[in-house]
Amino acid sequence: MDNKIITNNEISLKDLLLKGQEWFSYLLSQWKLFLCVGIIGASLGLTYSILKKPVYTATLSFALEDDKSSGGGLGSALGLASTLGLDLGSGGGSIFTGSNLTELFKSRTMVEKTLLSPVIVNGKIISLAEMYIQDNDWREKWKDEAKLNKIQFLPNANRKLFSRVHDSILGVIYKNLSKESLSVAQKDKKISIISMDVSSKNELFSLYFCEALAKQVGNFYVATKSKKARMNMEILQKQTDSIRAELNSAITGVAVANDNTFMLNPALNVRRAPSARRQIDVQANTAILTELVKQSELAKVTLRKETPLIQVIDRPILPLAKERFGKLKGIIMGAILAGFLTTLFLIFKKVVKEIMK
């Protein structure tokens, strides 16, 4: 039985080799067809490489410095302020760190605000959304659409006044940019350097959108991180102005009361009571104002401390990095693809022919 199995295996392998040789001879006999199809495929690949527009990539990298340490005199001062019941904004939180910050760049809100940023194209001020629409020839496609042909995206337009059609168009643009054009990554987890790449078929759009998005996210990031400290500073400033006005009024009141009691009989002390009361108001308001001024200055220091520094390291510079489909690559890939499809067609044709016998 073992001998039979070995013999059968040898016969099967022999049949397989013969079958392979038969198929190879069959395909080799069709060399003229392969040559013609290969030339056609190479021509199509060359045409594709010529017609395909190059892709321009704008790259911007920046570092974040967010000093959260509060030592020395400032720490003591903040501790004193807390004992007085005043929150100067220390500890603004870390909601935008690491991957959270990179995702902020890709958020729809940031991208849409960036798309409404003004840019100058051919001497006209338009929005980046309008520039994207023109680059993709959407206006030509919207000529026969009553709902679309009058749609405009003006620079710095009020987002709340947009219609459902505006929202839909912005949604499509955001989807295309987030999936195909926008890439944000942190180079190393140990360092806070973030790199952003924007790719498109328009060199100027890549440049403008990259810089506008970085500016938009930077402003939002700084405003959010320092929001608590800024609110406390504004409250202290209002309180300081209010107490200063009260102090000025009290000083004026003392002067008026003293004028009313000028050359007064010393025996009539009750007439001096208003002046004494206003004098007490002056002393109390002076003490309060002194403390508020100190706390207001501490709040300003805290605001500067809580405001993160965004330092741009590399900006996109024209000409941008260009990636295009090479002519040689198009010829080779076109010929290979055409040859592969021709091989599949011939194999299928021969198999069907043998089955039909």
Helix (H, G, I), strand (E, B) or coil at 142: coil
The closest of 154, 193, 153, 196 to 177, measured between CA atoms, is 196
Give, in order, the Cα–Cα distances in Å from 148 to each of 9, 133, 214, 310.
Answer: 70, 12, 30, 40
Angle at 18 between CA 17 and CA 22, to 5 degrees: 115
Please give the biggest Cα pair distance in the chain.
Answer: 145
DSSP 83-103: HTT---------SSSTHHHHH
Tens digits of residue pLDDT in 240-272 = 888 888 888 888 877 776 766 655 555 555 566
The closest of 180, 173, 172 to 115, measured between CA atoms, is 173
Tens digits of residue pLDDT in 39-81 = 888 888 878 777 778 889 999 988 876 555 444 444 444 444 4
As a whole number of angstroms, the distance between CA 152 and CA 124 comes to 14
27, two tokens: 């395909």
**pLDDT per position in the chain (357 positions), as tens?**
444 444 444 456 667 777 778 777 877 888 888 888 888 888 888 787 777 788 899 999 888 765 554 444 444 444 444 444 444 444 444 566 656 777 888 899 999 999 999 999 888 999 999 999 998 889 888 888 878 888 889 998 888 888 899 999 999 999 999 888 898 887 766 677 888 899 998 999 999 999 999 899 888 888 888 888 888 888 888 888 888 888 888 888 777 767 666 555 555 555 666 777 778 888 888 888 888 888 888 888 888 887 777 788 888 888 888 887 777 887 888 888 888 888 888 888 878 877 776
Give the pLDDT confidence score for residue 167 in this predicted structure. Answer: 92
Among positive and negative, which fits the CA dihedral 118, 124, 130, 132?
Answer: negative
Question: Please, which residues have CB within 8 angstroms of residue 312's CB and are 6 or more apart in sequence?
Answer: 60, 61, 62, 214
